[in-house]
């Protein structure tokens, strides 16, 4: 755990990652022949849980594979074995599938990732009007778009041309330009800025949103105090995306209120439910 935690802590600093890896190879010699496998499995589990998708994290994981001297086929097999061993962790396995597909280039290596895709697809029910395979594909695309959106806002308000990183994330130039234009129009406000600006909104003890004068805003009169006042934009397709990390989930029609109940948090990054936005997947 200490090894995995330190490697993740130094994510993006390749020199520190190299030194950390070298130190722990010596410290963990007592693990014996299975040392390498146990180290990389624990690292990948922690990496998938704590590191968000970004051009930097793709580069870091690729570098980690090189520290272990893994061929593409071997890296793909390790990813597949690990993901299949934790079928209940769909958020982490979805991220590892994304990383694998954007780091590994050979058709043979990518073919070894297919069992992960199949497992994820089988975990979705068919009552949302879309197949499990399509859900996985759209979730993977949404993950890349959310990562690029975050990269764009992180680049700051003074940028005047397309932010680098879209190719690494597997986006087309057209999609990257669309995202960049949308963020430019909104002033390049990051998800964290948006989150904390929302936190300044005022609510009464029934969870009803108030205006600047302290009066209940229109449309809030029917709230009975059993919710926290935040709302989730409706989605005709049942798809909802976290605006903070890009995690996408699919909710059966009619179950939205129960699903996004009080205290709901993103299973991937812990963001509040007001970070989730309904997505019409047929438009993607």
Residue 60: predicted pLDDT = 96
Residue 214: predicted pLDDT = 67
CA distance 64 to 11: 10
For 19, the token pair is 């030194």
- The separation between the first and the last C-alpha atoms of the chain, rounded to the nearest angstrom, is 39
CA distance 35 to 107: 29
Residue 224: predicted pLDDT = 45
pLDDT tens digit sequence for 1-52: 789 999 999 999 999 999 999 988 888 777 677 778 889 999 999 999 999 9
Bridge partners of 209, per DSSP, are 203
CA distance 118 to 137: 11
104 in the Ramachandran plot: left (φ > 0), alpha (ψ -120 to 50) or beta? beta
In the chain, which residues have pLDDT < 50?
199, 223-229, 282-284
Any idea where the domains of the chain sit in the sequence?
2-122, 132-283
Residue 253: predicted pLDDT = 66
For 202, the token pair is 């005022």
In the three-class reduction of DSSP (H, G, I as helix; E, B as strand; rest coil), residue 15 is classed as: helix
Bridge partners of 278, per DSSP, are 240
pLDDT tens digit sequence for 216-246: 766 655 544 444 445 566 666 677 777 777 7
Tokens 């014996």 sit on residue: 32
Residue 222 per-residue DSSP state? T
């Amino acid at each position: 755990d200490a090894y995995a935690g330190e490697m993740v802590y130094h994510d993006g600093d390749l020199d520190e990652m190299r030194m950390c890896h070298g130190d722990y190879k010596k410290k963990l010699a007592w693990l014996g022949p299975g040392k390498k496998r146990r180290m990389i499995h624990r690292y990948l589990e922690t990496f998938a849980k704590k590191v968000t998708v970004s051009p930097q994290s793709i580069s870091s994981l690729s570098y980690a594979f090189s520290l272990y001297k893994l061929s593409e086929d071997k890296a793909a097999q390790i990813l597949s074995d690990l993901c299949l061993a934790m079928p209940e962790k769909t958020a982490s396995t979805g991220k590892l599938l994304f990383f694998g597909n954007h780091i590994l280039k050979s058709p043979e290596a990518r073919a070894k990732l297919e069992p992960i895709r199949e497992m994820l697809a089988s975990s979705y029910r068919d009552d949302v009007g879309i197949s499990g395979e399509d859900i996985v594909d759209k979730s993977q695309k949404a993950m890349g778009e959310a990562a690029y959106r975050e990269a764009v806002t992180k680049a700051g308000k003074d940028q005047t041309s397309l932010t680098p990183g879209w190719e690494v994330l597997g986006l087309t130039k057209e999609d990257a330009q669309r995202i960049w234009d949308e963020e430019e129009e909104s002033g390049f406000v990051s998800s964290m800025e948006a989150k904390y600006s929302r936190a300044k909104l005022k609510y009464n003890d029934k969870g009803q949103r108030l205006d600047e004068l302290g009066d209940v805003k229109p449309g809030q009169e029917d709230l009975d105090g059993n919710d926290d006042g935040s709302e989730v934009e409706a989605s005709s397709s049942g798809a909802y995306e976290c605006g903070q990390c890009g995690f996408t989930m699919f909710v059966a029609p009619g179950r939205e209120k129960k699903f996004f109940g009080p205290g709901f948090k993103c299973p991937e990054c812990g963001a509040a439910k007001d970070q989730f936005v309904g997505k019409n997947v047929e438009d993607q």
